[in-house]
């Protein structure tokens, strides 16, 4: 599938008409168990926590999207956090993780409040020159990247950091949620594992919670599949169907998300009320060049601060008619989020301030509406913010 374009790949990835009925769409195999012709003799499907044909089709699709052309293995989970927590179960107690300092708040909460109880410590770092070496410990086993980051849209150089981590024998995991595999493919850049909250762009319609993990390593895949079955945080067959349906339009949606976000970012960049604007597609963004080299386009997320801080941000959100205030991102509809009090409330306040998640910051998930309508709405909301 390497030679195909993004849209063709999205439509055809893991697409297998049902052999028995010819059903063009993958059926929803809503069953917990399967008939056995004799004790322990079955078709390969025995119990739906272990295998389910709708989930198989989804797992195949995400593997192709994340690694077209090179065999990869996908595993689907009941949420992005289920995917993330399962990946960290690859580690032994006493291991150490180095993670980017600006991460989705739920990932940091899991590292700090759950993994730490099992003797796995995390060091957060800006991952600038010399930082990996400075953070390295004898027991470091994993480098955890998120790029672009949530919510500051920082960019990390996946190829460079993976090469450095591999010199030391660390496993490299990239949370690819913000880019989606249409815009960025971490495995092609050297990462060992690409994981994602498919709740976001991949499913794309704000109607399902889900996650996945993809690796090219057969050995890692065996371990992940063992953990998937053993821990059991698997998605339902209906959810798998919904994610697959979302995938069919992923490439076309991403183009529109990017068109709209690029347009809004340009407009916002010259607006007098905007005091801080974060979008990797802008030339002045610190990670612009790396983003241009490792991403196809710059994505649909924009973060900004408005003159007047948190109070102005609140008035801005209330005045907007098209950006709905809600958690999450990556759906067809535009959303606005206040990381300080919503997605990143669980991150310790000092760390939030240190990395730049301020009380005045708002994060926009730019949907696929008409760009001009979105701009008019934002302009009105900015005018109402003071
Ligand atoms: C970058 C990132 N990773 C992981 C997650 C967790 O995903 P889920 O909410 O599907 O568990 C989120 C959720 O917002 C996220 O933004």
Alpha-carbon distance of 125 to 103, in angstroms, equals: 11
146 lines ligand 1 (CB under 6 A): yes
Interval 329-370: pLDDT, tens: 999 999 999 999 998 998 889 989 999 999 999 999 999 999
Structurally, what CATH architecture does the domain formed by 251-383 represent? Answer: Alpha-Beta Complex (3.90)
239 lines ligand 1 (CB under 6 A): no
Sequence-separated (6 or more) residues with CB below 8 Å from residue 183: 254, 258, 295, 296, 297, 298, 299
3-state secondary structure of 306: strand
Q: Choose which residue among 77, 145, 146, 150 to substitute to test ligand 1 binding: the one with the highest number of ligand atoms within 8 A of its C-beta.
A: 150
Band of pLDDT at residue 18, cut at 50, 70 and 90: confident
Has domain 6-247 been given CATH number 3.40.640.10? yes
Active site amino acids: 49, 104, 175, 200
Cα(80) to centroid(ligand 1), Å = 5
**Domain map (residue ranges) of the chain:** 6-247, 251-383
Interval 183-240: pLDDT, tens: 999 999 999 999 999 999 999 999 999 999 999 999 999 999 999 999 999 999 999 9
Query: At how many degrees (to 10) do helices 371-383 and 309-319 cross?
Result: 130
Interval 282-316: pLDDT, tens: 999 999 999 999 999 999 999 999 999 999 999 99
Structure tokens at 385: 């913010």
Cα(107) to centroid(ligand 1), Å = 8
Is the overall model pTM greater than 0.85, yes or no?
yes
């Amino acid at each position: 599938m390497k030679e195909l374009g993004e849209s063709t790949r999205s439509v055809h990835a893991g697409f297998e008409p049902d052999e028995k009925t010819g059903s063009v769409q993958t059926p929803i195999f809503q069953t917990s168990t399967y008939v056995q012709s004799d004790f322990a003799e079955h078709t390969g499907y025995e119990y739906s926590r272990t295998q389910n044909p709708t989930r198989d089709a989804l797992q195949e699709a995400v593997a192709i999207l994340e690694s077209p052309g090179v065999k990869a293995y996908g595993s689907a989970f009941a949420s992005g956090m289920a995917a993330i927590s399962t990946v960290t179960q690859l580690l032994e107690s006493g291991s150490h993780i180095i993670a980017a300092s600006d991460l989705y708040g739920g990932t940091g909460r899991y590292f700090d409040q759950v993994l730490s109880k099992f003797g796995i410590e995390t060091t957060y770092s800006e991952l600038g020159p010399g930082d990996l070496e400075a953070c390295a410990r004898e027991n470091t086993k994993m480098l955890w990247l998120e790029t672009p980051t949530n919510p500051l849209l920082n960019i990390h150089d996946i190829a460079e950091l993976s090469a450095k981590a591999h010199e030391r024998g660390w496993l490299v995991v990239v949370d690819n949620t913000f880019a989606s595999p249409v815009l960025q493919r971490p495995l092609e850049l050297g990462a060992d594992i690409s994981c994602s909250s498919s709740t976001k762009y991949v499913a794309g319609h704000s109607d399902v919670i889900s996650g996945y993990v993809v690796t090219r390593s057969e050995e890692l895949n065996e371990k992940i599949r063992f953990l998937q079955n053993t821990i059991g945080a698997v998605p339902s067959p209906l959810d798998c169907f919904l994610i697959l349906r979302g995938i069919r339009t992923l490439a076309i949606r991403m183009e529109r998300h990017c068109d709209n976000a690029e347009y809004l970012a340009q407009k916002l960049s010259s607006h007098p009320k905007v005091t801080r604007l974060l979008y990797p597609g802008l030339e002045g963004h610190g990670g612009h060049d790396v983003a241009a080299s490792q991403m196809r386009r710059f994505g649909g997320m924009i973060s900004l601060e408005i003159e007047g801080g948190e109070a102005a941000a609140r008035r801005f959100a209330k005045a907007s008619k098209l950006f709905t205030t809600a958690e999450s991102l990556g759906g067809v509809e535009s959303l606005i989020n206040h990381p300080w009090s919503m997605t990143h409330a669980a991150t310790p306040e000092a760390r939030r301030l240190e990395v730049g998640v301020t009380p005045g910051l708002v994060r926009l998930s730019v949907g696929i509406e008409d760009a001009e309508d979105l701009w008019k709405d934002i302009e009105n909301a900015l005018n109402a913010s003071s």
